[in-house]
Chains A and B, each alone.
Chain A
Amino acid sequence: MQMHKTIRHDVLLDVRSLETHFYGEESVTRALGGISFQIMKGETVGVVGESGCGKSVTALSILRLLPKLTARTVGGEVRFHGQDLLKLSEQEMRKIRGGKIAMIFQDPMTSLNPVYTVGHQIAEAVQIHTGVSRSSALTKAEEMLRFVRIADPERRVSNYPYEMSGGMRQRVMIAMALACSPEVLIADEPTTALDVTIQAQILRLIVDLKERTGTAVMFITHDLGVVAETCQRVIVMYAGRIIEQASVMDLFARPMHPYTQALMRSVPDRRRGRQSRLPEIPGIVPNLRDPIIGCSFAPRCPFAIDICREKTPVLREIESGHTAACWRSEEIVCA
């Protein structure tokens, strides 16, 4: 317990008022409307929300991987080891990317280079970031494949991505990401493209490796089930903002934002009986090109009152460690 406490206060990644815009021909899309959160050493934080809520943009903004011509982070800070990642030169950023902060993506086929063996690709990452010799990098690659429990790693290092199944490719991606012992691993929908039995294997692997290496994980997913199984803390996003943040137990036991509540109810759940009507969320996600006045969820919210349509609610602590951006959280949590 004592140890748990000390870990808690050890902020590793500190994101402050991060704001990212996408530029279209005639319009500006405010993809991230100033979000702030922290990732502590060794913890797994889930980022959930539906398509377009800004969860992937958050990851790309942190790593500065946004498309250069159409997107820009216009405000905020990403503090990591005392420095602001947004102010680093591209060269300095490259050392951090794939080194201290690594990322894995949804589709392991398109994120691996098809013309190099997987061993070569892992070794390349190791060489760039640690500067070891080619041969020891290749040994490391083999070791990493064993680490992610790929059978027969001696043979598999010389395989090309197409010779592997989807699950195995995702293991390779994880091996590559962890090869340089990152402090933060950003996983963007890493199991969405996989079958359920393979997804279960990969989720176990990520949880297990996280425990062994102490790497903090930012786990981006749309699947509340995946969050429940892997994360300690959860950030819920809606329309480019964080609307709720809590420990995984608190969030599922007492969701405090109407959107989180609605989201949880709209998932088919055996405990609620088959063939019953699923509670829908009426309406659609707001267009982020238009300015949003008041709470962005207000037009779809059954609890909305005048203030919700006029003033944007800020994230505030409703209970210890549980924050929500809603004017009426105290009332609706009891409802």
Chain B
Amino acid sequence: MRMSGPLLKVENLTKHYPIGAGFLKKTTPVVRAVEDVSFSVEAGETLCIVGESGCGKSTVARLLMRLVDPTGGRVMIDGTDIAGLKKHELRAYRRLMQMVFQDPYSSLNPRLTAGQIITEPVENYERLSRKQREALAADLLHKVGMSPEMMHRLPSELSGGQRQRLGIARALALKPSIIIADEAVSALDVSVQAQILNLLMDLQQQLRIAFVFISHDLAVVEHLGHRVAVMYLGRIVELATCEALFAKPVHPYTEALIAAAPVPDPTGVRFEAPVAGEVPSPINPPSGCTFHPRCPLAVERCRIEVPPLVPMTDGRVVACHVRAPASGMQAQSAAARDCPTARLARANEPIRASEKPNIS
């Protein structure tokens, strides 16, 4: 299959859930779960989506799989917009994208054997003889590091880590080009988490699978991601390569998120919580930049205007009036046109102490 452009391209994806929908009510309030989200994923790449509960990251996963229909925007796989496809047309594209879920307990049918669970996706598309099915199950189990004898076991006879391996084997069954993993390691103990993360990285290398890896755990994201999108209240606030984002977060929310993650090193303990307040309700999100009520840098403009995603000189995009002003960027590139070092210096310009969020 020849591909032009990225494997997956998401444009202006939006999902509003109506709440308390009444048929006589003229206007229904909506939950703005996902608001104008755009990104792309190349073959063999891992794009991570991070954010706290309610930021819309799982809704994005559902929209990518078209388990829910978007309110607006496009999801292009190999150049085809799956948002507009009819059910039977969608079937062909579903093969290309598979999903791994968070909970390895509730996402496996307790009455099917491991072998049945992992071969079921293929049997949705083609008939398999008993022999073929067993060969396929053995092959898939081998791929995820389990012995073929396990195919006769029930999920209840397996450990949490083995179950998650089954979930991954099931996702691999249709040889997808992209796997969406929604908090796939969050429910696992750290020693098992390490096994599963290694497995995912190995599979990516061997099979060139692209991952959309949704997680709240920044250490995990930093470890296996190539690029990261940070979401807050339904919007992407920063999208950058992993190295750049963790080396120097630009959006104040990214900065707070990184500072908030506990670090297993007692010598570097902080004493202040990096950000006050809580995530507001997506039913009635704050005006302007939705982060402004919690943001230590907020200025008047942040209360009024939604900041656009502005491309920075290092290739990342950031939605922040203060750190990535739309007009400021143009001025900067004009000033730095004939001096590449000046451009770099400007991009990494230190933030004045008085402007810094409360991170000590």
Which B residues lie within 8 Å of A275 (CB)? 201, 223-224
Any B CB within 8 A of the CB of A103: no
Give A282-296 as 1s and 0s: 1 = Cβ < 8 Å from B's Cβ atoms.
001000000000000
Q: Output the residue of A168, A226, A266, A284 with the most chain B CB within 10 A.
A: A266
- A51-B160, A228-B265, A274-B225 given; name 16 further pairs at CB < 8 Å: A50-B189, A197-B260, A200-B259, A200-B275, A203-B262, A222-B189, A225-B262, A225-B263, A227-B264, A229-B263, A266-B194, A267-B194, A267-B219, A268-B219, A275-B201, A284-B161
- Assess A195 versus B52: contact at CB under 8 Å? Given A225-B264, A252-B265: yes
State the 10 A-B residue pairs at the shortest beta-carbon distance, nearest first.
Answer: A225-B262, A268-B223, A195-B52, A266-B194, A278-B194, A50-B189, A200-B260, A224-B264, A281-B191, A201-B273
> Is the Cβ of B266 less than 8 Å from the Cβ of A267?
no
Chain B, residues 12-32, CB within 8 Å of chain A (1/0): the string is 000000000000000000000
Q: How far is the CA of A168 from the CA of B267 in the complex (A)?
A: 29
Tell me if B335 counts as interface (CB < 8 A to partner A).
no
Separation of A274 and B267 alpha carbons in the complex (Å): 22
Q: What 1/0 mask marks residues of chain A from 163 to 199 whose CB sits below 8 Å from any chain B CB?
A: 0010110000000000000000000000000011111
Cβ contact within 8 Å between A266 and B222? no
B193 A266 Cβ-Cβ under 8 A: yes
Over the window 189-224 of chain A, the binary record of Cβ atoms lying under 8 Å from chain B Cβ atoms (1 yes, 0 no) is 000000111111101100000000000000000111
CA distance A84 to B256 in the complex (A): 46
Asked whether B190 is an interface residue with its Cβ less than 8 Å from the other chain, the reply is yes
Q: Per-residue CB proximity of B53-68 to A under 8 Å, as 1/0?
A: 1000000000000000
The 0/1 profile, CB within 8 Å of A marked 1, for residues 229-270 of chain B is 000000000000011001000000000110111111111011
A300 to B, closest residue via Cβ = B191
Q: Is B216 an interface residue (CB 8 A)?
A: yes
Chain A proximity mask over B184-195: 1 for CB below 8 Å, otherwise 0: 000001110111
A66 within 8 A of B: no
A138 contacts the other chain (Cβ, under 8 Å)? no
- Nearest A residue to B294 via CB reads A197
**Contact of A195 with B195 in the complex, beta carbons under 8 Å:** no
Where the two chains meet, the residues of B that have a C-beta atom closer than 8 Å to any C-beta of A are 52-53, 159-161, 189-191, 193-195, 197-198, 201, 216, 218-220, 222-225, 242-243, 246, 256-257, 259-267, 269-276, 278-279
Task: Given A197-B256, A197-B260, A200-B260, decide whether A262 and B191 contact each other with a Cβ distance below 8 A.
Answer: yes
A252-292 contacts to B (CB < 8 Å): 252, 262-264, 266-270, 274-281, 284
Q: Shortest Cβ distance from B225 into chain A, in angstroms?
A: 8
Interfacial chain B residues near A226, Cβ < 8 Å: 262
